[in-house]
Structure 1
Amino acid sequence: MTSGGSGSATPLMQQYREIKARHQDAILFFRMGDFYEMFYDDAEVASRAIGLTLTSRNNGGAAEVPLAGIPVKAAAEYLRRLVQQGHRVAICEQVEDPKLAKGIVKREVIETITPGAVFADDLLDGARANYVCAVAMGRDTVGKQGGREGDRVREQIGVAAADLSTGELRLFLVTAADASAVLARLAPRELLLVRNAAHAELDGALQVVEGALVTEREGWEFDAQLATDELTRQFAISSLEGFGLGVEDAAVVGAAGALLRYLRELQPGGLPHLARPVVERPGGVMPLDEMTRRNLELVESLRGGEVAGTLLSVLDRTTTPMGQRQLRQWLLAPLLERDAIDARLDAVMVLVRDPVGRATLREALDGVRDVERLASKAAAGRATPRELRALGDSLARLPQVAAAVHAVLAHANQGGAQGGVLARMLHDWDDGADCAAQLTRMLVARPPLLIGEEDTIAPGVDAALDELRALRDGGKDAIATIQQQERARTGIGSLKVGYNKVFGYFLEISNANRHLVPDDYQRRQTLTGAERYVTPALKEYEEKVLSAAERIEARERELFEALRREAGAAIRRWQAVARRVATIDVLASFADVAEREQYVRPELHDGFDLEITAGRHPVVERMMAREKFIPNDLALTEEAQLIVLTGPNMAGKSTILRQIGLIQLLAQVGAYVPARKARLPIVDRLFTRVGASDNLVRGQSTFMVEMSETSAILHTATKRSLVLLDEIGRGTSTYDGVSIAWSVSEHLHDAIGCKTVFATHYHELTQLANELGGVRNFTVAVREVGDQVLFLHRLVPGGADRSYGIEVGRLAGLPAPVITRAKEVLALLEGEGEQMAARLTADGMQAPASTRRRGPRLKHQLHADQLGFFAEPVAPVDAAATRLKAAVTALDTDSMTPLEALTTLAALKKGAAAP
């Protein structure tokens, strides 16, 4: 911080410096009366960031201090803009009444606002959680007896995530390979890392959250023992065993402790709303890597990260903010346990079968506001009168929600169905009736935003308050009476009683009537065309009214704060209520979409086979008339585990790949799927690599991105995985590309044995069906009518031998001469390729099938020779030249003496001259 000499600083600036020294990484909003002032570097940064006028303040000497300020009443908008730009803002308030202060008013920082630690609605997205995450490294010994020689030590990563706006706390213990999937799923706004730590294992994980604000903390704050003390103190427990945490979980415990310490610094008033942690270990949910999440467009589209055009946009028919957030989390965390999946599917089934009951349930949910965040605000002492009433109104709707769920379950029981998760939601149901009644009874129906603006506490709640209101309202009536009396007494019909904060109540008389003013009128203010007066009677009533108004505000504040404390003290109840409402809301949304879009319940099993009948893409079909979307069947079995999918451009290969992935994911989320029938296994991982692009920020070309993603699949996939690949090897030369695509396919088939669909334009790969027993060829059919190509979008057995790229270019609007020339070039290349294949075969350069290594035959590897079209025509093969070339290639010129070289050259010359 740039500052002048402290010796000449005023007491106010000395106070500022002391506070700023404790919050050097934040912009300090320093309360001075009705303004927040910023000084020195803070003023300069804020003036650039949010367009404030930069002025200066004398520092008690010759130095001028840069200064910028904002009105307290307008602070919310400026604060939002600063935080959205990634700045931290420390709010320093006056914590004593200036009238009672002796010397400088006492000031303290009451909170520090960061992108990951906010409560204000204008800084939050109601449809998604707002996490701040701490990440810590640890080690785990893998072996029968940890620590013995020969045991393998692997890196562990602990991730602690908290949403300050809801009080949610989640702990994840993952391997380095899955850390990126967890962080991508959480999408934190802020990350806590160990200062100056270099962990290569974290690089990939941190790249998926590049937009997060990074906060570095000292390494000792991540110490597991200190963290244990922090956690046990926060949750008033004796040990962490109750959370399922042991000594082997040091990494995640350390991360949780560092996160807790950081949040306490941001919120000096405490964290009473922080919920007990939910611990998630590997095996419960499916990790989704960045490429799969991106390619399937689950929650963000490829077009700028929008929600429109995503799976989330199709499924989101939720009616509550909690449901919206829950739906997003479910889509990013498919389940791996069949019982848990079936429990959700059972709930969706009973809701699908009872459309009337479902409609009643959704109507009841529609009146429930964001209970989770409203309750957190109440617990943190931040809820406004309007927000507290919203909490009460929401809780008052819960009996209707419960009644609607009971009706749906009763209808299901008549048909012999079980309610699954839906039935569990009613176990120990808490509708908060006592608190709802208290809140709605004590608060007026439409409270003001702040105490003092209008009445907040309802009439009849407090006798003392009612008496003060009667006095205030009676005083106002009396003032109106005074106006009528004075008009009659003076004969001045235009006389009026007014009020302002500076002069209080007054009688205003125009200059034209000034000669009629009685002698007992006391002049209070002179205006251009009028005079303002006061009388002893008006002063008496003014004192009564103003005194009553002040006492009313004080009493309302006292009653409201007591009510808010009472509601906030039950935060654990409201958090449990919010989770149940969110779950019910998502299940109802699944059922509503299933009925509207004609989805079916998937049949899940523990085997290998994947069979989809008339499968559809849930997003693409929404964008067109349903009768225009062409459904497709697909089966992956032990005997046909890898499908090579060929076909022309624009035929829909990528759409088919994505719809397979989305159907599998939806099933494991616990939702119905877009198909006529689906018999699906539970896969441990889903990989979808479709297309690629440069990543210039990370210094990676398109092909490097493609190879990196393919490498991740080959190192991570297991026999239980589902792999969906598109155009592997297209980013390099034809020979390289075919070779890589071939070897990747062999590895997936032979070494991993997983279910795979491989879409490609390399028609050479169709030979895999002849080489590998578990490979089948499929293509997307087209129909040629003259020069026109019709894309049928129908998946049929067999392989394609053309890509129809020129036809696609014509459809895209390439000039006619370009299309004509392209067809001529293609014909020449294809003819040259056939001639080259014939010559190679005639010269015996293709070995017998019995001795060849498994791979594409040379007669299909012709694209590598396409450069011959632009060079000289290929001459007929000369046997003598071939022998001479072989002899020269075999020479070891490095070991030859000059004499041997001359002798060899003479022999080669003689051989070349021979017939």
Structure 2
Amino acid sequence: MPPLQYGEAKNANDASADDGFCSIIRKLPPTPAGTVRLFDRGEFFSAFGPDAYYVATHHYKTQTVIKKLGKISTSNPDGLPAVTLSHAVAQSFLRDALTTKQLRIELYESEGGKNSSKWRLGKSASPGNLGSVEELLFAHTDMLAAPVILALKLSVKEGVKTVGVAFADTSRQDMGVSEFVDNDLFSNTEALLIQLGVKEVLLTADEKNADYDLRKIRTLVERCNIVITDRKRSEFTAKDVEQDLNRLLRGDLQASTRPEFDLKSAMAATSALISYLGLMSDDSNFAAYSLVPHDLKQYMKLDASALRALNLMPDPTGMGGGGSKNMSVFGLLNRCKTSQGTRMLAQWLKQPLVNLHAIQQRQDLVECLYEDSELRDELTTSYLSKMPDFHRISKRFQKGVANLEDVVRVYQALLLLPGLITILENGGQANDKWPELIEETYLVKLREYSSALQPMREMVEETIDLDELDRHNFVIKPEFDETLGQLKERLEGVRDQLDDEHRTVAGDLDMETDNKVLHFEQHSLYGYCFRLTRKEGSAIKGKKAYIELKNTSQGVYFTTKALKALTDEYKDVTKEYERKQASLVKEVVGIAASYCPVLETLNNVLAHADVIASLATSALNAPIAYIKPTVTESGEGSLHLSEARHPCLEVMEGVNFIANDVKLERDVSEFQIITGPNMGGKSTFIRSAGVIALLAQIGAFVPCTTATVPIFDSILCRVGAGDSQLKGVSTFMAEMLETAAILKGATRNSLVIIDELGRGTSTYDGFGLAWAISEHLATETRASVLFASHFHELTALAQEIPHVQNLHVVAHVDSKPDSLTGKEITLLYKVEPGVCDQSFGIHVAELASFPTEVVKLAKRKADDLEDFSENPDAANTTATTLSPAAIAEGTALVEQFLNAWASVAPSSSVPAPAPTEGEDVEMANGEGEGDAEVERDYAALVKCFAEYKDRFEETEWTKKVLEQTY
């Protein structure tokens, strides 16, 4: 980390200046929520107040960097907290704040110099609107995530909710629109946000919080960890959008003739988007944007829960193991060599295909590079790794901020195209269909682009001095322009005269020109001048021909009238040369800008090849190589995975992953309930299936030995509570919101993954909900479902519905007398057909080193509440013959009975004597006293049972339980 600049800053400002600055800071309006404010102080940046603490805590990771400014007074009792950041540190902090932390930033600038008392907001940016700081933050760093911003307009007519959206990626100058009907939970809106990777959403301001539907959308957007920006309702009108689009869009087609213009809600959202981004105020945006419609149905639908449950993307908060890149599917697969490839891979993961032909085409390309190692290595090492981000450079061309270095970077990349075409023409010969596929996907386009860009190559060779590149000088050839050539000759003539003057002075002083005693150098203040060592400085004394400039510890600086005149002439000619070159550079950049459309399409082809190579490389480098899955049409075939593995978990150090088969057979076992011990592998099993299904639909290879995957129209998940409580949403409410979205959005061709539903409420309510939801999905929706549950009673559903199958994770149990539970559990992580007949929660607690007293108490209470049959089938007989309502009524009565007994049992009211120090816990209650206590408890139980016996006989479930007991 670069050193702090505080010491330098403090020296430059005295205490009175600090007091004045503190006064200025306090008079500014408060920093808005979710915003960090920095001040550009020239040589460094500063943050003050709460912003200083945020920078210190989240970036420097220490508060020792905080200084207190100003004199201590009534108005300033503790001083103003301040942190300073060098330019490099500020750029790093701002990049992280905008692209990872999802914060807004404000940069204040002085209106009149370093010590001015007037400060104004110079630049502001948000996660989806980086335009004003893009050059500051990404001039020398690739942008790895697209800053997509979306405006949303909701219209409700006769109860029908129509959502119109407009979205843009300003870094690529792409714009899109979509309009669709949505349900009460706005499931389609959520899927769209995930597909596009939206960073910021513009919504209509609702100061009174009176719009119920808008409030639901706001909650949904927040749940997706997306920044919300409120805009005035008047901005969401399509009044001027036609003329704005006519100026912004490429091509001659009028906006009103485009089919997208008929999407009225989407056009209203487009107007708000254009206004917020300020696109009309920048001439470089005119005729630069594309407009495309976005069809939700062209991709698999994913919800925010699926994104988290399947660990598709790195955790932006850094929580949940986000530190290792292999903890996310994106991090694991990302072997891309270019930033555009990295962005496209993220896009593919959020937009799995539903078109079988497109999926198979990607698969065949991955297979080609998977098998042809020579082509793969040469493509990635010799070509893709040397390709710049043409989108970023094109935008610099269009904005007029590019320089000759940008032009040369493009030129050097264009020189690689013929070789790239050659290796692709010679590759993939092992399979007859691969050359044709490579030709269609890459070669046709690359030849076209190479030919179209040939004039640009020639232009660069004619105008830029390529011989100077080795010295990192980017200059125009002097012979390219007659005036520039004349100025170059004048400069060289002045340099020759300077050398002559050096030799003349050396001869007069009887010294050599080897710069050992008489130094000839260019000074920042005096220009060209001479310097003698202090020892030889007396050589010029008394000589009128020499003009002494400065006497320092480094020596005596002096000049001559002739040298002074030559220095002035050299400066004048140099300025004239630079002005002329700058005008020529502007012309060259302008010509280069005309090739932007071709460069951007070339960029897409290279990004596609990069992602394909990345998928092939990651498939080969896995602990066990991935295989090419067989993908079938939606609604046809079943999900069959042999020895399926979770791609992220199998690469973790110290993990010996146990593979499992997955067989979701349509109409036979399409709904599977998985039970078993905690930590036994239920969650991993169901998530592995979800990840593999998604990988298959992006065209990737999958971690199995064989795989057949039908095309799913959506993957919907209910797994874990995440950080809902941090947002004021209870665990149970989060469960219900996500489950409601599944019930509304799931179809016959969806894959639904549910893990431990019902944990957020009481056992009886949780079981009732789990049963009802499962029954609805299994009978009404008929989706493919993997349901991991701790409710063993739920397995009774298989007796009522033919296509419900029970699976369980296997645990091996041995007798262990010295264990508090009397058993030793070994988790085998294998999934097999059938029902797990008991829970191993107490055994797992013992493995986790729970306190002995806690484990003993849990065992005693478990023995009180459960009596598992030796025959697992018999234990489930009662549950399989009664309705969920009858079971719930019976279990509630039993709970009431146990509470009544506990209230009168002596052991519940008389605490056991505490063990003395060093005394064994089991010896704390003497054997005699323990026996007496059991007798008293038993007597209380008999009495309580007699009081409840009639009610047990009248309740269907408890009656059957008693019949099996007698």
| TM-score for both structures, normalised by structure 2 | 0.75
- Given the superposition, is the C-alpha separation of residues 317 and 264 from structure 1 closer, same or farther in structure 2, using an over 3 Å criterion? same
Query: Which residue of 1 is the match for residue 942 of structure 2?
Result: 875
Determine whether 1:504 maps to 2:532: no
| 775-784 or 74-83, larger mean C-alpha shift | 74-83
CA distance in 2, matches of 1:650, 1:884: 39
1:814 to 837, 850, 871: 850
Aligned to 1:599, which of 627, 633, 637?
627
Summarize deviations over 1:267-326 as a string: whole Å, max 9, x none: 534315743122112211122111110111001246265544111122112111111100
Query: Alignment partner for residue 335 of structure 2, among 317, 320, 324?
Result: 317
What SS does structure 2 have at the residue aligned with 1:139? Answer: strand
Q: Secondary structure at the match of 1:560?
A: helix
- The equivalent residue for 1:736 is 765
- 1:642 and 1:774 in contact (8 A); partners too: yes
Partner of 2:454: 433
Aligned mates of 2:952, 2:373 — CA distance in 1:
81
Partner Cα distance (2:840, 2:284) in 1:
66
- 1:316 alignment partner AA: N
**Higher mean C-alpha displacement, 731-740 vs 118-127:** 118-127
Deviation at 1:777, TM superposition (A): 0.8
Residue in structure 2 matched with residue 668 of structure 1 by the alignment: 697
Shift of residue 535, structure 1, vs aligned partner: 1.7
The aligned counterpart of 1:178 is 188
* Secondary structure in 2 matching 1:827: helix
Who is 1:527 aligned against? 551
Query: What amino acid sits opposite 2:520 in the alignment?
Result: V
Determine helix, strand or coil for the equivalent of 1:802. coil
For 1:673, what is the secondary structure of its paired residue? coil
- Work out whether 1:798 is the aligned partner of 2:834: yes
SS of corresponding position for 1:527: strand
Q: 317, 320, 323: which one pairs with 1:303? A: 320
Secondary structure of the structure 1 residue equivalent to 2:758: coil
The 5-angstrom pairing of residues 369-448 of structure 1 reads: 369-408=388-427, 411-413=430-432, 418=437, 422=441, 426=445, 429-431=448-450, 432-439=453-460, 442-443=463-464
Contact 1:661 1:724 survives alignment (8 Å): yes
2:732 is the counterpart of 1:714: no
Bigger mean CA deviation after superposition, 630-639 or 110-119: 110-119
* Structure 1, 691-700 or 326-335: larger mean CA deviation: 691-700
1:17 aligned partner: none
Amino acid aligned to 1:525: L
**2:572 maps to 1:547:** yes
CA distance in 2, matches of 1:370, 1:674: 32
> How far apart, CA to CA, are the structure 2 residues paired with 1:817 and 1:73?
56
Q: 1:895: which partner in 2?
A: none
Choose from 55, 64, 87 the match for 2:105: 87
Note if contact 2:491-2:573 (Cα within 8 Å) is conserved in structure 1: yes
Q: Does residue 204 in structure 1 map to residue 219 in structure 2?
A: yes
Answering whether residue 168 of structure 2 is matched by residue 162 of structure 1, we say: yes
Structure 1 SS opposite 2:449: coil
Q: Give the Å deviation of 1:445.
A: 5.6
Cα deviation, residue 374, structure 1: 1.4
Letter aligned with residue 374 of structure 2: V
Structure 1-normalised TM-score? 0.79
Task: Between 311-320 and 654-663, report the one with greater CA deviation.
Answer: 311-320
Contact 2:151–2:272 (8 Å) recurs in 1: no
In the other structure, the counterpart of 1:472 is 491
- Residue of structure 1 equivalent to 2:916: none
Q: Deviations over 1:876-902 (max 9, x none)?
A: 577898779999xxxxxxxxxxxxxxx
Who is 2:788 aligned against?
759
1:280 corresponds in structure 2 to 294
CA contact (8 A) 1:779 1:797 kept: yes
Q: CA deviation at 1:483?
A: 2.9
Kindly provide the amino acid, as one letter, of the partner of residue 156 in structure 1.
Answer: T
| CA deviation map 1:177-234 (0-9, x unaligned) | 222232244444443333447423422332145453x444333332224212211222
Deviates most, 219-228 or 662-671: 219-228
* Shift in Å, 1:400: 2.9
Q: Is the 8 A contact 1:365 1:401 kept in 2?
A: no
What is the deviation of 1:470? 4.6
* Paired residue total: 823
- CA separation of 1:288/1:552 partners in 2, compared to 1, >3 Å: closer, same or farther? same
Q: 1:69 to 1:628 in 2, by over 3 A?
A: closer
Which stretch of the first structure deviates more once superposed, 214-223 or 417-426? Answer: 417-426
**Which string of whole-angstrom CA distances, capped at 9 and with x for unpartnered residues, describes residues 834-879 of structure 1?**
9xxx9xx9xxxx8995899786795899678665674434335778
Whole-Å separation in 2 of the counterparts to 1:639 and 1:772: 10
Question: Cα offset for 1:665?
Answer: 0.8
Matches within 5 A, 1:571-720: 571-596=596-621, 597-606=625-634, 607=636, 609-623=638-652, 628-693=657-722, 695-720=724-749
723-732 vs 856-865, which moves further: 856-865
For 1:759 and 1:848, locate their aligned partners in 2 and report how far apart those are by CA, in whole Å.
19
Amino acid at match of 2:538: R
In structure 2, what is the Cα distance between the partners aligned to 1:614 and 1:848?
A: 32
Share of identical aligned residues, percent? 24
Aligned AA for 1:599? I
Distance 2:436 2:469 in 1: 48
Is the CA contact (8 Å cut-off) linking 1:188 and 1:209 kept in structure 2?
A: no
The one-letter code of the counterpart of 1:340 is A
Cα distance change, pair 884–260 in 1 and its aligned pair in 2 (3 A): closer
Counterpart Cα distance in 1 of 2:947 and 2:51:
82
The equivalent of 1:490 in structure 2 is 509
8 Å Cα contact 2:545-2:560 kept in structure 1: yes
Whether contact under 8 Å (2:547, 2:560) holds in the other structure is no
Question: 1:113-262 maps to which residues of 2 (within 5 A)?
Answer: 114-115=126-127, 116-118=129-131, 119-120=134-135, 122-123=137-138, 126=142, 128-139=144-155, 153-174=159-180, 175=182, 176-196=186-206, 198=211, 199-208=214-223, 210=225, 212=227, 214-235=228-249, 237-240=252-255, 243-247=258-262, 249-262=263-276
Q: Any idea what SS the aligned residue of 1:122 has?
A: helix
Moved more, 518-527 or 633-642: 518-527
Structure 1 residue runs of 5 or longer lacking an equivalent are 1-19, 57-66, 95-106, 142-151, 888-915
Residues 352, 595 of structure 1: 8 Å contact kept:
yes
The structural deviation recorded for 1:408 is 3.4
Deviation at 1:433, TM superposition (A): 3.0
C-alpha distance in 2 between matches for 1:875 and 1:531: 112
Please tell me whether the aligned partners of residues 83 and 114 of structure 1 are also in contact (alpha carbons under 8 angstroms).
yes
Q: For residues 404 and 630 of structure 1, what CA distance do their matches in structure 2 show?
A: 38
* Change in 2 beyond 3 A, CA 1:612/1:565: same
Per the TM alignment, residue 779 of structure 1 is displaced from its structure 2 partner at its CA by 0.8
Structure 1 range deviating more: 511-520 or 499-508: 511-520
CA distance in 2 between partners of 1:81 and 1:847 (Å)? 54
CA distance 1:417–1:863, change in 2 (3 Å): farther
Taking a change above 3 Å as real, the CA distance of residues 495 and 612 of structure 1, as seen in their structure-2 partners, is: closer
Please, which moves more after superposition, 541-550 or 704-713? Answer: 541-550
Instruction: Write the deviation string for residues 428-468 of structure 1: whole angstroms up to 9, x where unpaired.
Output: 7412333244336644569899xx99553356544543543
Are the structure 2 counterparts of residues 654 and 441 from structure 1 closer, same or farther at C-alpha, using a change threshold of 3 Å?
A: farther
Instruction: Note the C-alpha offset of 1:79.
Output: 7.1
Whether the 8 Å CA contact 1:298–1:312 is kept in 2: the answer is yes
Distance 1:461 1:852, change over 3 A: closer
Secondary structure of 1:345's match? helix
Cα distance in 1 between the residues matched to 2:376 and 2:164: 41
Following TM superposition, by how much is the alpha carbon of 1:392 offset from its aligned partner in structure 2, in angstroms? 2.2
Match of 1:906 in 2: none
Bigger mean CA offset, 269-278 vs 583-592 = 269-278
CA distance in 2, matches of 1:851, 1:604: 38
Provide the residue aligned with 2:562 in structure 1: 537
**CA RMSD between the two structures:** 4.6
Deviates more, 1:476-485 or 1:378-387: 476-485
Q: Work out the CA distance in 2 between the residues paired with 1:577 and 1:412.
A: 26
